[in-house]
Amino acid sequence: MTSPESRQRKKIIPYSRPSVSSAEIQEVRKVLRSGWLTTGPAVERFERAFAEKVGARFAVAFSSGTSALVGACAAAGVGSADRFITTTMSFVASANCGRYFGAAADLVDVEEPTLNVSAAAIEQAMRQNTRAVVAVHYQGHPVDLAAISEVCRRRGAVLIEDAAHALGARYRDSVIGDCRYSDLCAFSFHPTKLITTGEGGMVTTNREDFDERLRRFRNHGMVRRPELEPWEYDCPELSFNWRLSDVHSAMGLAQLARSDGLLARRREIAAYYNERFAACDALITPVEEPECLHAYHIYVLRFRYDRLTINRRGMFERLKAASIVPQVHYRPIHRHSQYQALGYEASAFGVAEAAYGQMFSMPMYPDLTQREARYVADTVCRLVEENRRD
């Protein structure tokens, strides 16, 4: 037997879906015929266009957002005697990135209502050997960069922004990625993110020495030595091949050219959801603080199950039966078994734990139609109404 919901709608509405237009297909086709597939002219063009878009001096392309974060840690000089700070309400890469160098990750809790990390929490976690802070712009809402950069400067820590969610976001007089308040800023081009290259990432910086270290790090640590012989090169340190290809960069160029429109549509959907869900006291909607522009990489809706007669699993099943498939962002990092093994305990992360129990990432992507957005809002409001605790 089919439920009333599934009779209404068969087509699945996922939480995210990439927007790929004929422009991307054309650009990729051109590169495929150019005879140059790996790091070449398209990578350079993509890096230049990206730096210009966010207002940074330098942009260095990477094979993923994760390798971009690891590259940023390498540029920051994170080493085995160091510690670094990041937030538990993020993807595990935010905390893994410095650990590849043997550094210890200090996870901190987030704060309401943005679920971002605060400058005060960072200050409290600072130790003598804290080398870097990886500040995550969760959902695409900027952290308080001015306050956090002040703490970092005072304590001698390098500030790395994890801007995987935040292409197009703004903070005061700054575009995320311009590194006005930070040393390095890492982006991801995974298919769920604001623009995509299939897989890919980017680090921006205003420091020439960081730019050079990033370029070397992504390419086996290789240094050309033409002063010895025209063909000579040296690899003085252990590194990786974390280059982005020209094929991916061609797609990125076309996506970047469309990024303003993609962001505008996300914000339109968020404004509509916010208005619809604000009417319901069993729901907590995302906020946009003054002087901030939210990029809405994800739309995290929080359900107050203390006011409902069903639990999170029940809500998930009902949404799924209505062909709406939400996701959870994130299972806090301290919950992963490798971090449990490091001794992290849930009691230290009260805000993240409570929010985690409430959150679903609802459908949020530029190609979501107004009709679909209305269906999502109608369905959520109806499910809440039907399962309200009196």
Ligand X SMILES: *Cc1c(COP(=O)(O)O)cnc(C)c1O
Describe the chain by its helix, strand, coil percentages, rounded to 5: 40, 20, 40
Which is closer to ligand X, CB of 168 or CB of 201?
201
Mark the segment that binds ligand X (CB under 6 A) among 60-68, 219-227, 237-245, 300-308. Answer: 60-68
Which is closer to ligand X, CB of 53 or CB of 190?
190
Shortest Å distance, C-beta 64 to ligand X: 4
* 94 touches ligand X (CB under 6 A): yes
Mark the segment that binds ligand X (CB under 6 A) among 9-17, 41-49, 162-170, 354-362. Answer: 162-170
Q: What is the DSSP secondary-structure string of 42-72?
A: HHHHHHHHHHHHHT-SEEEEESSHHHHHHHH
6, 81, 107, 124, 129 from 120: Cα distances, Å = 48, 24, 14, 6, 18
Shortest Å distance, C-beta 387 to ligand X: 31
Is the alpha carbon torsion for 331, 333, 337, 343 positive or negative?
negative
* 218 touches ligand X (CB under 6 A): no
The residues near 209 (Cβ < 8 Å, ≥ 6 apart) are: none
**Cα Rg for the chain, rounded, in angstroms?**
22
Residue nearest to ligand X (CB): 65
List 142, 168, 201, 366, residue binding ligand X (CB under 6 A): 201
* 24 touches ligand X (CB under 6 A): no
Shortest Å distance, C-beta 98 to ligand X: 13
Shortest Å distance, C-beta 346 to ligand X: 20
Using CB atoms within 10 A of its CB, is residue 278 exposed (0-12), middle (13-18) or buried (19+)?
A: exposed
Total number of residues binding ligand X (CB under 6 A)?
Answer: 15
β pairing state of 299-303 and 283-284: antiparallel
Residues engaged in binding ligand X (CB under 6 A): 64-66, 69, 90-91, 93-94, 136, 162, 164-165, 188, 190, 201
